[in-house]
Amino acid sequence: MMRTLKGKISLIYLFLVIMIAVVGAASVMDLYGLSKAINGLMTANYKSIHAVDNMLEALERQDSAALIYISVNTEKGIDVFTENTNVFLRWYEIESKNVTESGEQTHVDNIGTYYTKYVKLFSSLQEIRNTQGVEASVEFYNNTIMPDFIALKQELKALSGLNETAMFNAKDRATRTARVSMYWLLALTAAAIAGGFLASRFFANRFLRPIYSLTETMKLVKSGDLNQQAHILSHDEIGELAAEFNNMTKRLQQYEQSAIGTLMAEKNKSLAIVKSISEPLVVLDSHYRILLMNDSYERLFDVREDKAMNKHFLEVNRNGELFDCISGMIESEVESQQKIVKLMLDDEEYYFNIMVTAVKGMDTQPSGFIVAFHNITQMKLLEKVRTDFIATISHEFKTPLTSIIMGTDLILEEEMGKLTIDQKDVMSTIREDGQKLSSLVNDLLELSKIESSKAVFHIQPCRLDGVIESSVKQFYQQAEQKDVILEYECEEDLPRIFADAEKISWVLNNLLSNALKYTNAGDAIRVSAAVKGGRMHVSVKDTGAGIPAEYLDRIFDKFFQVKGYDLEMRGTGLGLAVVKEIIQAHDGEIWCESRLDAGSCFTFTLPLADIDSEH
């Protein structure tokens, strides 16, 4: 029964039921004792008193009968006396069977003796009256019968008094018994309450102890300590629960071990892959602390991973410029970015394309950043060789080309003699091609100068409206000839920009000449400038031919030209490439929005000279 929780709870109930039964039984017994005491009081003593009263009454009547006998009527006197003798004896018999008190028997015996004598004396009285007359009988009555009568009465009263006293004593006893019973019952009830309470507490504590222990273990397991096992303190339902709980934690432990094992294996695999990547790579957290680096990175910067772990990037790579470049990319909050930087390592120049990629976890904020270094030094060297080669060739071409153009000009002006029409045509073609070649050479030279950083930029605060106005003016005549509307609109009080005015004028000329090239009569070209987001935005917008969407991202590439235009419209394909280089050299951006047959809009941005003027 005690093996199950149900049994244990039933035991507590059983205990309480027994307590209630004991109190109930004690109450019943007390009540019974009390009623018995009262009953005794009512019956025995009362019966004796009642009998004595009746005996006294009968005796009084007999006494009267004796007097009637003496003085008035002998017959009636005898009848009344005999009648009451019977009454007296009946009650005497009742009383003699109802002796309950000590000393009562003596009184009963005395009464019996006195009464027998009294009856005998009445017989003697009859004899005296019949033989000696009334006077002698009166004297006999007074001297002999009366003392016996008085003594008998006194005995009867004593008997009544004895029973009365006994009755009062019985009443006191009953009261005492009732009081004692009450105290007993109170004590028993208090004992039952205290016993019930203590027993319930004792058993409840005993039965709940395994639950408390299990709860404590559960808390520890919840906080992550899967090694905890619940103590099995009982073999009831709670014991079973604890055993099942232990099984569950064991399974969880096994699962965690297997999950951690798999995760560790996966992590090691990923680490091995990262380590074996030939490109230098470092992983930083959001506070620029180093989380991981591969062998290639260690070799490149001559650092050791174990010494660099969790240290700030600047502590390990003491290169402020490199840090500025990386932090700039990270802070721009673009998911993946790249920038080319020049690094001096062992007194040698290296070029790296640095790529920063944000590592995103479960939340939207990146948990870290992968910084990969792609070595493009070789590519840069080759590019330099190519740029130098082009610069040299262009330079070598420039002088002969100038001579050819000047020579053909002179011949065409017929300074050296008249020309036939055919000769003029040939000479014109030579001059046109020469001019085209010359502009190509000029573009190539400009480009190679910018690329090899030989082009000197005089970047200083300057006014943009003047630059725009003079550029636009140069193209008014050509626009008029083509019947194209050319206008410009600038915000009033444009702030100054930080730029090389000559180079920006070159950019505007190039964009305007392209716009004119790809517009027809009735079209319009609009140049505008405004400040947006703290930068100057300049746009050259036309309603001309437009550019097919698939070419839009390539038009800034060198020598790229959109297919399908007339050959004579084609330039060198270098103009936009040079434009882009110049704008980038100003730390600006350039882009094109265009729709075929609807027109194009080229926009470039430039930094403002006065920070206060940003609006």
Q: Which residues bind ligand ADP (CB under 6 A)?
A: 514-515, 518, 542, 544-545, 547, 555, 560-562, 570-577, 600
Nearer to ligand ADP by Cβ, of 5 and 504: the residue is 504
Nearer to ligand ADP by Cβ, of 464 and 525: the residue is 525
What DSSP character marks residue 413?
Answer: T
Nearer to ligand ADP by Cβ, of 45 and 561: the residue is 561
Extract long-range pairs of 109-115: CB within 8 Å, 24+ residues apart.
Answer: 110/155, 111/55, 111/152, 111/155, 111/156, 111/159, 114/148, 114/151, 114/152, 114/155, 115/88, 115/152
CB of 558 to ligand ADP, least distance (A): 8
CB of 377 to ligand ADP, least distance (A): 29
d(CA 95, CA 54): 11
Nearer to ligand ADP by Cβ, of 210 and 575: the residue is 575
d(CA 127, CA 569): 193
Residue 231 φ then ψ, to 5°: -75, 135
Give the count of beta carbons closer than 10 Å to the beta carbon of residue 144.
15
Q: What is the dihedral of CA 57, 63, 66, 72, to 10 degrees?
A: -80
CB of 495 to ligand ADP, least distance (A): 27
Q: Are 590 and 556 in contact (CB under 8 A)?
A: yes
CB of 322 to ligand ADP, least distance (A): 34
Nearer to ligand ADP by Cβ, of 486 and 577: the residue is 577
Nearer to ligand ADP by Cβ, of 95 and 443: the residue is 443
CB of 555 to ligand ADP, least distance (A): 4
d(CA 199, CA 504): 100
In sequence order, which ranges of 483-528 are alpha helices (DSSP H)? 501-517
- Look at the chain and count its residues: 615
Nearer to ligand ADP by Cβ, of 115 and 518: the residue is 518
Q: Which residue is nearest to ligand ADP, using beta carbons?
A: 571
Q: How far apart are the first and last CA of the chain?
A: 88
CB of 390 to ligand ADP, least distance (A): 16
Nearer to ligand ADP by Cβ, of 345 and 596: the residue is 596
CB of 439 to ligand ADP, least distance (A): 8
Nearer to ligand ADP by Cβ, of 10 and 481: the residue is 481
CB of 567 to ligand ADP, least distance (A): 11
CB of 487 to ligand ADP, least distance (A): 16
Check the CA dihedral 105-109-110-115 and report its sign: positive
CB of 333 to ligand ADP, least distance (A): 33
Q: Is 363 helix (H, G, I), strand (E, B) or coil?
A: coil
What DSSP character marks residue 580?
Answer: H
Q: Are 69 and 81 in contact (CB under 8 A)?
A: yes
Nearer to ligand ADP by Cβ, of 317 and 543: the residue is 543
Longest dimension (CA), the chain: 230
For residue 244, the one-letter residue type is E
Nearer to ligand ADP by Cβ, of 228 and 600: the residue is 600
What is the residue-wise DSSP string for 92-104?
HHHHHT---STTH
Nearer to ligand ADP by Cβ, of 101 and 542: the residue is 542
How far, in Å, are 230, 240, 357 from residue 4 at the CA level? 19, 10, 63
CB of 272 to ligand ADP, least distance (A): 47
Q: Are 55 and 118 in contact (CB under 8 A)?
A: no
d(CA 414, CA 40): 174
Calculate the CA 59 to chain-centre distance.
Answer: 106
What DSSP character marks residue 495?
Answer: P
Nearer to ligand ADP by Cβ, of 350 and 551: the residue is 551
Return the closest-CA partner of residue 42 out of 102, 100, 96.
100
Q: Are 342 and 351 in contact (CB under 8 A)?
A: yes
Q: Are 471 and 505 in contact (CB under 8 A)?
A: yes
Q: Is 131 helix (H, G, I), strand (E, B) or coil?
A: helix
109, two tokens: 């015996």
Residue 164 φ then ψ, to 5°: -60, -45
CB of 273 to ligand ADP, least distance (A): 43
Residue with tokens 């990262």: 274
Nearer to ligand ADP by Cβ, of 448 and 514: the residue is 514
Calculate the CA 531 to chain-centre distance.
Answer: 48
Nearer to ligand ADP by Cβ, of 77 and 546: the residue is 546
CB of 371 to ligand ADP, least distance (A): 34
Residue 50, CB-side half-sphere exposure with 13 Å CA sphere: 9
CB of 399 to ligand ADP, least distance (A): 23
CB of 346 to ligand ADP, least distance (A): 40
